Amino acid sequence: MQNIFSFNKSFIILKKELKHIFLSPIAYIFSAIFLAVSGIYFFSRFFIISQNDMRDYFSILPIILSLIIPPITMGLLSSEFSSGSYELISTQSVSTLEIIIGKFLSAVIFMLFALLPTIMYPITLLLLGRLDLGPVIGGYIGSVFLISALCSIGIFASSITKNQIIALIVALAIMIFLNVFLKLISLLFPSLTNVMDFISGDYHFNSIARGVLDFRDIIYFLSITTIFLYLSNIALENRK
Q: Is 152 in contact with 232 (CB distance < 8 Å)?
A: yes
pLDDT band at 87 (very low <50, low <70, confident <90, very high): low
* pLDDT digit string, tens, across residues 36-81: 888 888 877 766 666 677 888 898 999 999 999 999 999 889 988 8
pLDDT of residue 21: 82
Q: Is 72 in contact with 107 (CB distance < 8 Å)?
A: yes
* pLDDT digit string, tens, across residues 5-25: 667 888 888 988 888 888 878
| pTM over the 0.95 mark | no
CA distance 131 to 66: 27
pLDDT of residue 4: 58
* pLDDT digit string, tens, across residues 169-216: 999 999 999 998 988 888 888 888 888 888 999 999 999 998 888 899
Look at 57 and 141; give whichever has higher pLDDT: 141
Q: Is 101 in contact with 63 (CB distance < 8 Å)?
A: no
Q: Is 167 in contact with 157 (CB distance < 8 Å)?
A: yes
3, pLDDT greater than 60: no
Of the candidates 107, 100, 104, 106, the residue with the CA atom closest to the CA atom of residue 239: 100
pLDDT of residue 81: 85
Written as one string, the DSSP assignment of the chain is -PPPP-HHHHHHHHHHHHHHHHT-HHHHHHHHHHHHHHHHHHHHHHHHH---SSHHHHHHHHHHHHHHHHHHHTHHHHHHHHHTHHHHHHTSS--HHHHHHHHHHHHHHHHHHHHGGGGHHHHHHHHHS---HHHHHHHHHHHHHHHHHHHHHHHHHHHS-S-HHHHHHHHHHHHHIIIIIHHHHHHH-GGGHHHHHHH-HHHHHHHHHTT---HHHHHHHHHHHHHHHHHHHHHHHTT-
